[in-house]
Structures are given as structure tokens and as C-alpha cells.
Amino acid sequence: MKLELKNLYDDFRDGKTLKAYAKIIEEDAKKLNRTINIMEVCGGHTHSIMKYGIPQLLPKNINFIHGPGCPVCIMPKERIDHAYILALLDDVILVTLGDMIKVPGSNGSLQDARAKGADVRFVYSPIECIKIAKENKDKKIIFFAIGFETTTPMTAVLIEQTIKQNIPNIFFHINHVTVPEVMCELIDSRDEHIDSYNNQIDAFLGPSHVSVIAGSKIYDIFPKKYHRPVVVSGFEPVDIMESISMIIKQFIQNRCEVEIQYKRVVDYDGNKKAQELIDRYFDKVSLFRWRGLGNIPKSGLKLKDKYAKYDAEVIYKDILPISEIEDHKLCICGDILRGMAKPPECTIFGTACTPTNPVGSCMVSSEGACAAYYKYGNLL
């Protein structure tokens, strides 16, 4: 007899379970007498929400607001220009993560730089830079580091190994950003103009992979200061439906807390070893400019000053632009990243702007909201 192995994800995508949660949510939503706007901060959640048609399962008074999504989406053009300029230097191999290839800067994308002869390489793990550096001792290997708290420890490990192995030709352009600060900005910017906005953020789906590293403790400020509940959710549709149910029950019970739905991998404290690595090599920057969101205090990281000899932004400061560069006038990625608009509201969505010819960063990234709507929007 042939034994069929059950897919690991089957229970988290089970139709009967989803319908059961939909029924619970529908009954509980009747007790609210108001609309609850839930922002999912993570683009992975946005794609799951769209892919599995979750909005179709929810009552009309439960509304999703899409948030910043992913580190590729929020990268401003001037920092993309940094990567482009560095990549075109004769003695440089620029290394980064795959989603960066098509993100347009003011001069072009890294894909365009590659077409001009630049040596641009895309890796799954930063540690691959060590092999590249040892095989190309006559080249400077610049790792263009991106990511939220999720990928920052991997960059820290590469820095540590570069120092320990005394590898002289690896350098870093750091673009790591942190989640809580942008969540605060998204609330503050709305609360300052409460009469103008009809899509206030009432609650958050907390990003799961970020929370594995940082722990749910980073969200304590939101119920305490902002009176917004946060439920850290897994990516699967059952995870998301359970998380929505948990949020609604908080409103019904007049509670405002941080809760963890994704308990199979997330706890309150997070990965302390990873946090120690981050603290060892990085400091907070006073300001980091987010695409479409502006300068957000303490929301980005930089190499500590004592590691400046590895810092590409310091070494190449004379050729790297510092002025801010605005997006294409027809692109509304900024509003989409703020959750003030949804992709179909953009006049060039799906026409002039597609995954094969992206105008804005939200269409480029595999986690971008525009990419999710383009791929799965016909399912709604």
C-alpha cells in the first residue's frame, strides 16, 4: 500500500477551517457596530490575503489597509542610485538580494547596470560574499544590504566573518530598516489629520519573520501609547483568519493588547543571540528616508563608527548623491505604502506599470502590494 504523506501546510490552508473562522468572524463583527481597519505591515501577509481571497471571506465592516510591505518597496531612489553608481565602478562586484534587480532609480535599475557591463550578483545568503571575495581578490565586493529585522542578523554574521577571517575586499552599504518606528509614523501621520482620513488604522497584523528575531516586545508601545492592538500572525490563510478573529475579540471585550497567534515560532523576547549580533555591529541612524513615507527618526541602521573602514557609504561618499529624488509623477507608490490608496486606484496600474515593466517599487518586489494585486486581483 502506498502511503501518502500529508503536506505540512494542509492544516493551515484547510477550507473547512477557513469557513469556520469566517463564520465566527461574521458573528463577532455584528457586535461591533463599526468598521475595523486592520493594517498588515508585511508584504508576505498582503500576498497571502490576496492569493487566498481572504477579503471575500470577511464581512464588510472588516477592512484591510496595506502597509509598507517590504524593504525593497520602501527603498528611496537615491539609495538605488548608490547601488547603480557603485556597480558601474570597474573594480567593484556589487552583491545584493534578488528583489533589488528591477527596482528603478533615477539612472536605471541594477538590471540596467548589468546590461552596461557591471558585475552585479544576487545571492540567497550574504555569507556567499566570502566565496566571491576569495575568488576575486583583485575586486572590491560591496554587499548592498537590505531588509527589516529579519535579514539584519545575516548581514551581521557576514561582517563578523569578514573581520575574523581578515578578508580585505568586502565592504558594506547598509540599508537595513526597523519596523516599530514606521508603524508609529503611520499612526502619527493619520492622527494629525484625523478629519482628512477615513482609513484610520485600528489594529495591526504584526509581521511574523520580523517578530521571530525581535520578539513581540517591540509592539508593546502600540496598545500602551496608541491604544491599537497588535496580533503577530503567521502567513498561512488559517493563521491570518485566526489573527483577525483575535483582533475582533479584543474590540468586543474592550481589550487592547499584543497577542501572538504565530506561537509556533514567535515569543515575547525573540532571538537574543541575533539581537546581540545586531547591537554589536550596528547603530541607529538619526533619520532614514523611506520611499513615499519621508524621513523617519531612528528607523534605519548603519555600521558602527569603529567599522567605518568597511562602510562603502563612507569610502565612496564623494561620488554618492545625497539629495532626495522623487518618484514618477504618475506613480502613487507613496500613498500605497502608507495605506492611503490601493493599487487599482493608480492610473498606470496594470497598463504602463506591470511586473515586466515596473514604474514603482510596489510592482517590482515579489512582496509589493501592486505585484500582489496584479497577480491575484482577478481572484477577488
pLDDT of residue 276: 98
Q: Which of the residue ranges 21-30, 71-80, 281-290 would you say has the lowest mean pLDDT?
A: 71-80
Q: Which of the residue ranges 18-32, 39-53, 191-205, 279-293 would you say has the lowest mean pLDDT?
A: 191-205
Q: What is the mean pLDDT of residues 331-359?
A: 88
pLDDT of residue 269: 98
Q: Is the pLDDT of residue 3 over 60?
A: no
pLDDT of residue 323: 83
Q: What is the mean pLDDT of residues 325-344?
A: 86
pLDDT band at 322 (very low <50, low <70, confident <90, very high): confident
**When comparing pLDDT for 361 and 373, which is higher?**
373
In the chain, how many H helices and how many E strands? 16, 13
* Domain range summary for the chain, segments of one domain joined by +: 77-176+271-315
CA neighbours within 13 Å on the CB side: how many for 139?
A: 23
What is the β-pairing status of strands 294-297 and 258-260?
Answer: unpaired
d(CA 38, CA 245): 11
d(CA 270, CA 262): 12
Q: Is the pLDDT of residue 31 over 60?
A: yes
pLDDT of residue 357: 84
Q: Which of the residue ranges 59-63, 207-211, 356-360 would you say has the lowest mean pLDDT?
A: 356-360
CB 94 within 8 A of CB 120: yes
pLDDT of residue 99: 77
Q: Is the pLDDT of residue 310 over 60?
A: yes
Q: Is the pLDDT of residue 48 over 80?
A: yes
pLDDT of residue 198: 57
Domain 77-176+271-315 CATH superfamily: HypD, alpha/beta domain 2 (3.40.50.11740)
- The fraction of the chain above a pLDDT of 70, given in percent, is 95
d(CA 182, CA 297): 9
pLDDT of residue 356: 83
For 77, 128, 182, 348, the CA distances from 351, given in Å and listed in that order, are 22, 38, 30, 5
Q: Is the pLDDT of residue 364 over 50?
A: yes
CA neighbours within 13 Å on the CB side: how many for 377?
A: 12
Q: Is the pLDDT of residue 197 over 80?
A: no
Nearest in space to 342 (alpha carbons), one of 33, 49, 98:
49
Q: Where are the alpha helices (DSSP H) in the chain?
A: 15-29, 43-51, 54-57, 77-87, 110-115, 128-135, 152-164, 179-191, 208-214, 221, 237-252, 272-281, 312-315, 333-338, 361-364, 369-376
Q: Which of the residue ranges 33-37, 157-161, 211-215 would you say has the lowest mean pLDDT?
A: 33-37
Surface-to-core class of residue 257, CB atoms within 10 Å of its CB (0-12 exposed, 13-18 middle, 19+ buried): middle
- Residue 376 has a CB neighbour count (10 Å cut-off) of 17
pLDDT band at 1 (very low <50, low <70, confident <90, very high): very low
pLDDT band at 366 (very low <50, low <70, confident <90, very high): confident
CB 46 within 8 A of CB 66: yes
Q: Which of the residue ranges 95-109, 167-181, 218-232, 247-261 would you say has the lowest mean pLDDT?
A: 95-109
- Please tell me which of 2-6, 71-75, 375-379 the model is most confident about, judged by mean pLDDT: 71-75
Nearest in space to 241 (alpha carbons), one of 2, 92, 87, 28:
28
- The fraction of the chain above a pLDDT of 90, given in percent, is 75
Q: What is the mean pLDDT of the chain?
A: 92
Q: What is the mean pLDDT of residues 142-164?
A: 97
pLDDT of residue 196: 44
Q: Is the pLDDT of residue 160 over 80?
A: yes
